[in-house]
Structure 1
Protein backbone atom coordinates (compact mmCIF):
# COMPACT_ATOMS: atom_id res chain seq x y z
CA UNK A 1 0.00 0.00 0.00
CA UNK A 2 2.93 2.33 0.69
CA UNK A 3 5.59 1.60 -1.96
CA UNK A 4 9.04 2.92 -1.12
CA UNK A 5 10.96 4.01 -4.22
CA UNK A 6 14.22 3.66 -2.34
CA UNK A 7 13.43 0.15 -1.13
CA UNK A 8 15.54 0.91 1.93
CA UNK A 9 14.94 -1.06 5.12
CA UNK A 10 16.36 -0.68 8.59
CA UNK A 11 17.45 -3.60 10.78
CA UNK A 12 15.99 -3.10 14.23
CA UNK A 13 18.34 -3.36 17.23
CA UNK A 14 16.22 -4.42 20.21
CA UNK A 15 19.06 -3.72 22.65
CA UNK A 16 18.57 0.00 22.03
CA UNK A 17 15.06 0.10 23.48
CA UNK A 18 14.78 -2.37 26.34
CA UNK A 19 14.16 -5.47 24.25
CA UNK A 20 11.06 -4.07 22.58
CA UNK A 21 10.44 -5.07 18.98
CA UNK A 22 8.79 -2.99 16.26
CA UNK A 23 5.37 -4.11 15.08
CA UNK A 24 6.50 -3.35 11.53
CA UNK A 25 9.89 -2.76 9.87
CA UNK A 26 11.20 0.77 9.51
CA UNK A 27 11.25 1.99 5.92
CA UNK A 28 12.43 5.32 4.61
CA UNK A 29 9.51 7.63 3.84
CA UNK A 30 7.09 5.71 6.09
CA UNK A 31 6.22 7.46 9.33
CA UNK A 32 4.72 5.66 12.33
CA UNK A 33 1.74 7.77 13.38
CA UNK A 34 -0.77 7.70 16.22
CA UNK A 35 -3.33 10.01 17.85
CA UNK A 36 -3.75 10.44 21.60
CA UNK A 37 -4.95 12.58 24.49
CA UNK A 38 -1.84 13.81 26.34
CA UNK A 39 -1.82 13.87 30.14
CA UNK A 40 0.30 16.01 32.45
CA UNK A 41 0.02 14.30 35.83
CA UNK A 42 0.73 16.00 39.13
CA UNK A 43 3.95 15.23 41.00
CA UNK A 44 1.98 13.19 43.53
CA UNK A 45 0.68 10.98 40.71
CA UNK A 46 4.24 9.82 40.08
CA UNK A 47 4.61 9.03 43.78
CA UNK A 48 1.45 6.93 43.60
CA UNK A 49 2.82 5.16 40.52
CA UNK A 50 6.08 4.39 42.34
CA UNK A 51 4.05 2.82 45.15
CA UNK A 52 2.12 0.67 42.66
CA UNK A 53 5.31 -0.50 40.94
CA UNK A 54 6.93 -1.30 44.29
CA UNK A 55 3.92 -3.46 45.15
CA UNK A 56 4.28 -5.20 41.78
CA UNK A 57 8.00 -5.72 42.38
CA UNK A 58 7.26 -7.45 45.68
CA UNK A 59 5.16 -9.89 43.64
CA UNK A 60 8.16 -10.62 41.42
CA UNK A 61 7.20 -8.37 38.53
CA UNK A 62 9.64 -5.64 37.52
CA UNK A 63 8.17 -3.07 35.17
CA UNK A 64 9.55 0.04 33.49
CA UNK A 65 7.72 3.30 34.18
CA UNK A 66 6.31 5.09 31.16
CA UNK A 67 8.16 8.28 30.32
CA UNK A 68 4.98 10.06 29.19
CA UNK A 69 1.30 9.40 29.79
CA UNK A 70 -1.60 9.50 27.37
CA UNK A 71 -4.88 7.90 26.32
CA UNK A 72 -4.63 6.37 22.85
CA UNK A 73 -7.20 7.43 20.25
CA UNK A 74 -5.83 5.38 17.37
CA UNK A 75 -3.66 2.42 16.62
CA UNK A 76 -0.18 3.08 15.29
CA UNK A 77 -0.48 3.38 11.52
CA UNK A 78 1.94 4.16 8.73
CA UNK A 79 1.76 7.44 6.81
CA UNK A 80 3.82 8.42 3.82
CA UNK A 81 5.73 11.61 4.58
CA UNK A 82 3.87 13.71 2.01
CA UNK A 83 0.50 12.73 3.56
CA UNK A 84 1.25 13.93 7.09
CA UNK A 85 0.11 17.56 6.71
CA UNK A 86 -3.05 16.49 4.91
CA UNK A 87 -3.84 13.96 7.62
CA UNK A 88 -3.31 16.50 10.40
CA UNK A 89 -5.46 19.02 8.54
CA UNK A 90 -8.24 16.44 8.37
CA UNK A 91 -7.92 15.84 12.12
CA UNK A 92 -8.12 19.57 12.83
CA UNK A 93 -11.27 19.91 10.77
CA UNK A 94 -12.95 17.10 12.69
CA UNK A 95 -11.70 17.78 16.22
CA UNK A 96 -11.14 21.51 16.75
CA UNK A 97 -14.83 22.21 17.47
CA UNK A 98 -15.08 19.51 20.15
CA UNK A 99 -15.33 20.70 23.78
CA UNK A 100 -12.84 19.85 26.51
CA UNK A 101 -13.91 17.14 28.91
CA UNK A 102 -13.08 15.39 32.15
CA UNK A 103 -11.56 11.92 32.37
CA UNK A 104 -11.15 9.79 35.47
CA UNK A 105 -8.75 6.85 35.16
CA UNK A 106 -8.73 4.92 38.42
CA UNK A 107 -9.18 1.19 37.72
CA UNK A 108 -5.98 -0.88 37.56
CA UNK A 109 -5.98 -3.19 34.54
CA UNK A 110 -3.46 -5.25 32.59
CA UNK A 111 -3.02 -5.07 28.82
CA UNK A 112 -0.86 -6.72 26.20
CA UNK A 113 -0.08 -5.53 22.70
CA UNK A 114 -1.50 -7.46 19.75
CA UNK A 115 1.72 -9.39 19.25
CA UNK A 116 1.87 -10.39 22.94
CA UNK A 117 5.45 -9.08 23.09
CA UNK A 118 4.79 -6.44 25.76
CA UNK A 119 2.62 -6.23 28.86
CA UNK A 120 1.29 -2.94 30.21
CA UNK A 121 -0.05 -1.95 33.59
CA UNK A 122 -2.65 0.76 33.17
CA UNK A 123 -5.45 2.76 34.73
CA UNK A 124 -8.73 2.26 32.88
CA UNK A 125 -10.98 5.26 32.24
CA UNK A 126 -14.21 5.20 34.27
CA UNK A 127 -15.41 8.75 33.48
CA UNK A 128 -15.14 10.32 30.03
CA UNK A 129 -15.59 7.11 28.02
CA UNK A 130 -18.37 8.52 25.82
CA UNK A 131 -16.42 11.66 24.98
CA UNK A 132 -13.37 9.57 24.08
CA UNK A 133 -15.55 7.49 21.76
CA UNK A 134 -16.61 10.70 20.04
CA UNK A 135 -12.97 11.67 19.53
CA UNK A 136 -12.20 8.21 18.14
CA UNK A 137 -15.15 8.52 15.74
CA UNK A 138 -13.66 11.70 14.28
CA UNK A 139 -10.15 10.24 14.17
CA UNK A 140 -11.48 7.13 12.41
CA UNK A 141 -13.02 9.32 9.70
CA UNK A 142 -9.61 10.87 9.00
CA UNK A 143 -7.95 7.44 8.98
CA UNK A 144 -10.52 6.15 6.51
CA UNK A 145 -9.76 9.03 4.14
CA UNK A 146 -6.26 7.57 3.81
CA UNK A 147 -7.38 3.92 3.81
CA UNK A 148 -5.74 3.35 7.19
CA UNK A 149 -6.84 0.96 9.91
CA UNK A 150 -9.30 2.43 12.38
CA UNK A 151 -9.30 2.02 16.17
CA UNK A 152 -10.36 -1.11 18.02
CA UNK A 153 -14.03 -1.96 18.41
CA UNK A 154 -15.25 -1.48 22.01
CA UNK A 155 -11.93 0.00 23.18
CA UNK A 156 -10.80 -0.06 26.80
CA UNK A 157 -9.51 3.48 27.16
CA UNK A 158 -6.66 3.65 29.64
CA UNK A 159 -3.50 5.39 30.75
CA UNK A 160 -0.50 3.06 30.47
CA UNK A 161 1.65 3.35 33.59
CA UNK A 162 4.47 0.87 33.04
CA UNK A 163 5.52 -1.99 30.79
CA UNK A 164 7.64 -5.12 30.59
CA UNK A 165 8.75 -7.40 27.78
CA UNK A 166 6.69 -10.50 27.05
CA UNK A 167 3.19 -11.66 27.94
CA UNK A 168 3.05 -11.36 31.73
CA UNK A 169 -0.67 -10.67 32.03
CA UNK A 170 -1.23 -13.95 33.83
CA UNK A 171 1.03 -12.81 36.67
CA UNK A 172 -1.13 -9.75 37.41
CA UNK A 173 -4.51 -11.28 38.11
CA UNK A 174 -6.70 -12.10 41.09
CA UNK A 175 -5.23 -11.15 44.44
CA UNK A 176 -2.25 -9.37 42.88
CA UNK A 177 -4.46 -7.10 40.81
CA UNK A 178 -6.60 -6.41 43.88
CA UNK A 179 -3.52 -5.44 45.89
CA UNK A 180 -2.38 -3.01 43.19
CA UNK A 181 -5.87 -1.51 43.09
CA UNK A 182 -5.76 -1.09 46.88
CA UNK A 183 -2.51 0.88 46.56
CA UNK A 184 -4.28 3.34 44.26
CA UNK A 185 -7.47 3.52 46.31
CA UNK A 186 -5.65 4.06 49.60
CA UNK A 187 -3.15 6.62 48.31
CA UNK A 188 -3.71 10.09 49.72
CA UNK A 189 -5.74 12.29 47.32
CA UNK A 190 -6.04 9.45 44.79
CA UNK A 191 -9.46 10.73 43.72
CA UNK A 192 -7.83 14.00 42.65
CA UNK A 193 -4.69 12.44 41.17
CA UNK A 194 -6.65 10.19 38.81
CA UNK A 195 -8.72 13.07 37.35
CA UNK A 196 -7.51 14.57 34.06
CA UNK A 197 -8.93 17.14 31.70
CA UNK A 198 -8.69 16.39 27.98
CA UNK A 199 -7.83 19.83 26.65
CA UNK A 200 -6.10 18.88 23.41
CA UNK A 201 -5.56 16.03 20.99
CA UNK A 202 -2.09 15.22 19.71
CA UNK A 203 -0.88 13.43 16.61
CA UNK A 204 2.67 12.11 16.67
CA UNK A 205 4.15 11.18 13.31
CA UNK A 206 7.77 10.11 13.39
CA UNK A 207 9.62 12.78 15.36
CA UNK A 208 6.92 15.43 14.81
CA UNK A 209 4.05 16.16 17.19
CA UNK A 210 1.00 18.18 16.15
CA UNK A 211 -1.40 19.61 18.75
CA UNK A 212 -5.11 20.28 18.23
CA UNK A 213 -6.65 22.33 21.08
CA UNK A 214 -10.21 21.51 22.06
CA UNK A 215 -12.54 24.43 22.60
Structure 2
Protein backbone atom coordinates (compact mmCIF):
# COMPACT_ATOMS: atom_id res chain seq x y z
CA UNK A 1 0.00 0.00 0.00
CA UNK A 2 0.95 3.64 -0.26
CA UNK A 3 2.58 5.67 -2.99
CA UNK A 4 5.50 4.13 -4.88
CA UNK A 5 8.85 5.82 -5.35
CA UNK A 6 8.77 7.75 -8.63
CA UNK A 7 11.87 7.99 -10.80
CA UNK A 8 12.86 10.92 -12.98
CA UNK A 9 11.54 10.91 -16.54
CA UNK A 10 11.31 13.55 -19.30
CA UNK A 11 8.10 15.43 -19.95
CA UNK A 12 6.47 14.65 -23.31
CA UNK A 13 6.72 17.30 -25.98
CA UNK A 14 4.59 18.17 -28.98
CA UNK A 15 6.36 15.70 -31.25
CA UNK A 16 5.38 12.72 -29.10
CA UNK A 17 1.73 13.47 -28.36
CA UNK A 18 -0.97 11.08 -29.53
CA UNK A 19 -3.40 12.57 -32.07
CA UNK A 20 -6.55 13.89 -30.43
CA UNK A 21 -9.83 12.66 -31.84
CA UNK A 22 -11.72 15.88 -30.94
CA UNK A 23 -10.85 19.10 -32.77
CA UNK A 24 -12.18 21.55 -30.20
CA UNK A 25 -10.49 24.94 -29.78
CA UNK A 26 -10.14 26.40 -26.32
CA UNK A 27 -11.93 29.72 -25.72
CA UNK A 28 -11.30 31.87 -22.63
CA UNK A 29 -14.95 32.79 -22.10
CA UNK A 30 -15.93 29.09 -22.07
CA UNK A 31 -12.99 27.51 -20.20
CA UNK A 32 -11.99 26.93 -16.58
CA UNK A 33 -8.60 25.70 -15.32
CA UNK A 34 -8.54 22.70 -12.97
CA UNK A 35 -5.37 22.06 -10.96
CA UNK A 36 -5.76 18.50 -9.74
CA UNK A 37 -4.30 17.42 -6.36
CA UNK A 38 -1.01 19.34 -6.47
CA UNK A 39 -0.47 18.67 -2.75
CA UNK A 40 2.83 18.20 -0.97
CA UNK A 41 1.87 14.62 -0.10
CA UNK A 42 1.53 13.63 -3.76
CA UNK A 43 3.95 15.97 -5.51
CA UNK A 44 6.61 15.18 -2.91
CA UNK A 45 6.91 11.66 -4.33
CA UNK A 46 8.44 13.11 -7.51
CA UNK A 47 12.23 13.53 -7.48
CA UNK A 48 13.09 17.05 -6.33
CA UNK A 49 14.69 19.39 -8.89
CA UNK A 50 14.59 16.73 -11.61
CA UNK A 51 12.21 16.13 -14.49
CA UNK A 52 9.29 16.11 -14.56
CA UNK A 53 8.76 18.19 -11.38
CA UNK A 54 10.19 21.61 -12.44
CA UNK A 55 8.29 21.50 -15.74
CA UNK A 56 5.11 20.36 -14.01
CA UNK A 57 5.04 23.24 -11.54
CA UNK A 58 6.32 25.84 -14.01
CA UNK A 59 3.81 24.95 -16.70
CA UNK A 60 0.87 24.94 -14.30
CA UNK A 61 2.00 28.35 -13.01
CA UNK A 62 2.05 29.69 -16.59
CA UNK A 63 -1.44 28.33 -17.29
CA UNK A 64 -2.75 29.81 -14.07
CA UNK A 65 -1.21 33.24 -14.76
CA UNK A 66 -2.86 33.52 -18.16
CA UNK A 67 -6.16 32.07 -16.94
CA UNK A 68 -6.24 34.73 -14.23
CA UNK A 69 -5.42 37.49 -16.72
CA UNK A 70 -8.26 36.31 -18.95
CA UNK A 71 -10.81 36.14 -16.15
CA UNK A 72 -11.11 32.36 -16.29
CA UNK A 73 -12.10 30.44 -13.13
CA UNK A 74 -9.17 28.65 -11.48
CA UNK A 75 -10.15 25.57 -9.46
CA UNK A 76 -7.91 23.48 -7.20
CA UNK A 77 -8.76 20.05 -5.87
CA UNK A 78 -7.17 18.68 -2.71
CA UNK A 79 -7.60 15.47 -0.79
CA UNK A 80 -8.79 16.19 2.78
CA UNK A 81 -6.22 15.64 5.51
CA UNK A 82 -6.35 12.86 8.07
CA UNK A 83 -9.56 11.20 6.92
CA UNK A 84 -11.08 8.69 9.30
CA UNK A 85 -10.61 5.01 8.53
CA UNK A 86 -13.08 3.88 5.91
CA UNK A 87 -13.79 7.34 4.45
CA UNK A 88 -11.46 6.68 1.51
CA UNK A 89 -13.36 3.55 0.51
CA UNK A 90 -11.55 1.11 -1.75
CA UNK A 91 -8.78 3.64 -2.40
CA UNK A 92 -7.55 2.93 1.11
CA UNK A 93 -7.00 -0.74 0.22
CA UNK A 94 -4.65 0.28 -2.58
CA UNK A 95 -3.08 3.59 -1.54
CA UNK A 96 -3.27 3.49 2.23
CA UNK A 97 -4.61 6.13 4.62
CA UNK A 98 -3.91 9.10 2.34
CA UNK A 99 -2.86 12.61 3.30
CA UNK A 100 -1.84 13.14 6.91
CA UNK A 101 -2.06 16.19 9.12
CA UNK A 102 0.12 19.25 8.73
CA UNK A 103 1.77 20.54 5.61
CA UNK A 104 1.31 17.37 3.57
CA UNK A 105 -2.23 18.42 2.66
CA UNK A 106 -1.25 21.88 1.41
CA UNK A 107 -1.00 22.77 -2.27
CA UNK A 108 2.70 23.16 -3.19
CA UNK A 109 3.94 26.64 -2.30
CA UNK A 110 4.51 28.00 -5.85
CA UNK A 111 0.87 27.22 -6.66
CA UNK A 112 -0.76 28.13 -3.35
CA UNK A 113 -4.40 29.16 -3.95
CA UNK A 114 -5.16 32.87 -3.96
CA UNK A 115 -8.27 34.87 -3.08
CA UNK A 116 -10.93 34.41 -5.73
CA UNK A 117 -9.76 30.90 -6.68
CA UNK A 118 -11.76 27.83 -5.78
CA UNK A 119 -10.52 24.93 -3.64
CA UNK A 120 -12.64 21.76 -3.66
CA UNK A 121 -12.27 18.71 -1.43
CA UNK A 122 -11.39 15.72 -3.60
CA UNK A 123 -12.46 12.49 -1.91
CA UNK A 124 -11.93 10.26 -4.95
CA UNK A 125 -9.61 10.38 -7.96
CA UNK A 126 -12.37 11.82 -10.17
CA UNK A 127 -12.73 15.49 -9.25
CA UNK A 128 -16.42 15.49 -10.23
CA UNK A 129 -17.35 12.65 -7.87
CA UNK A 130 -18.92 13.74 -4.57
CA UNK A 131 -17.99 17.38 -5.20
CA UNK A 132 -19.76 20.43 -6.57
CA UNK A 133 -17.35 20.88 -9.49
CA UNK A 134 -20.14 20.33 -12.00
CA UNK A 135 -22.40 22.91 -10.34
CA UNK A 136 -19.52 25.38 -10.12
CA UNK A 137 -18.81 25.10 -13.84
CA UNK A 138 -22.49 25.51 -14.69
CA UNK A 139 -22.78 28.57 -12.44
CA UNK A 140 -19.75 30.09 -14.20
CA UNK A 141 -21.27 29.17 -17.59
CA UNK A 142 -18.20 27.10 -18.53
CA UNK A 143 -18.34 24.11 -20.85
CA UNK A 144 -14.59 23.61 -21.37
CA UNK A 145 -12.19 22.30 -18.72
CA UNK A 146 -8.39 22.50 -18.86
CA UNK A 147 -7.00 19.71 -16.68
CA UNK A 148 -3.49 19.62 -15.19
CA UNK A 149 -1.86 18.14 -12.08
CA UNK A 150 -1.39 14.58 -10.78
CA UNK A 151 -1.66 11.71 -11.45
CA UNK A 152 -2.18 11.46 -15.20
CA UNK A 153 -3.51 7.88 -15.40
CA UNK A 154 -5.71 8.26 -12.29
CA UNK A 155 -7.29 11.58 -11.35
CA UNK A 156 -6.52 13.43 -14.57
CA UNK A 157 -7.80 10.66 -16.84
CA UNK A 158 -10.93 9.98 -14.78
CA UNK A 159 -11.78 13.66 -14.40
CA UNK A 160 -11.35 14.31 -18.13
CA UNK A 161 -13.51 11.28 -18.95
CA UNK A 162 -16.27 12.48 -16.62
CA UNK A 163 -16.12 15.97 -18.11
CA UNK A 164 -16.70 14.44 -21.53
CA UNK A 165 -19.63 12.39 -20.21
CA UNK A 166 -21.16 15.61 -18.91
CA UNK A 167 -20.74 17.49 -22.23
CA UNK A 168 -17.84 19.56 -20.94
CA UNK A 169 -14.99 19.66 -23.46
CA UNK A 170 -11.78 18.47 -21.72
CA UNK A 171 -8.29 19.73 -22.58
CA UNK A 172 -5.49 17.67 -21.01
CA UNK A 173 -2.15 19.47 -20.89
CA UNK A 174 0.44 16.77 -21.53
CA UNK A 175 3.42 18.61 -20.03
CA UNK A 176 1.43 20.02 -17.09
CA UNK A 177 0.52 16.60 -15.70
CA UNK A 178 2.77 13.98 -14.12
CA UNK A 179 2.46 10.33 -13.22
CA UNK A 180 4.08 7.41 -11.45
CA UNK A 181 6.19 6.62 -14.52
CA UNK A 182 6.77 7.69 -18.11
CA UNK A 183 4.90 4.60 -19.29
CA UNK A 184 1.79 5.41 -17.27
CA UNK A 185 1.99 9.07 -18.31
CA UNK A 186 2.07 8.07 -21.98
CA UNK A 187 -0.76 5.57 -21.52
CA UNK A 188 -2.93 8.23 -19.91
CA UNK A 189 -2.39 10.59 -22.84
CA UNK A 190 -3.30 7.87 -25.34
CA UNK A 191 -6.55 7.16 -23.53
CA UNK A 192 -7.54 10.78 -22.95
CA UNK A 193 -6.84 11.66 -26.59
CA UNK A 194 -9.89 9.60 -27.56
CA UNK A 195 -12.30 11.99 -25.84
CA UNK A 196 -10.13 15.03 -24.99
CA UNK A 197 -7.83 17.47 -26.70
CA UNK A 198 -4.30 16.55 -25.61
CA UNK A 199 -2.01 19.54 -26.00
CA UNK A 200 1.15 21.15 -24.67
CA UNK A 201 1.31 24.16 -22.39
CA UNK A 202 2.82 26.25 -25.16
CA UNK A 203 0.14 25.42 -27.72
CA UNK A 204 -2.68 26.01 -25.24
CA UNK A 205 -1.26 29.36 -24.16
CA UNK A 206 -0.99 30.42 -27.81
CA UNK A 207 -4.58 29.40 -28.49
CA UNK A 208 -5.83 31.31 -25.46
CA UNK A 209 -3.88 34.43 -26.42
CA UNK A 210 -5.13 34.23 -30.00
CA UNK A 211 -8.75 34.36 -28.99
CA UNK A 212 -10.43 37.73 -29.20
CA UNK A 213 -13.71 36.54 -27.71
CA UNK A 214 -12.94 37.28 -24.06
CA UNK A 215 -13.57 40.91 -23.06
CA UNK A 216 -10.54 40.70 -20.74
CA UNK A 217 -8.13 39.95 -23.58
CA UNK A 218 -6.43 42.99 -25.09
CA UNK A 219 -4.81 43.09 -28.48
CA UNK A 220 -1.35 43.23 -26.91
CA UNK A 221 -1.93 40.29 -24.52
Compute the TM-score of the two structures, normalised by the length of structure 1: 0.24
Higher strand share: 1
| Larger-Rg structure | 1
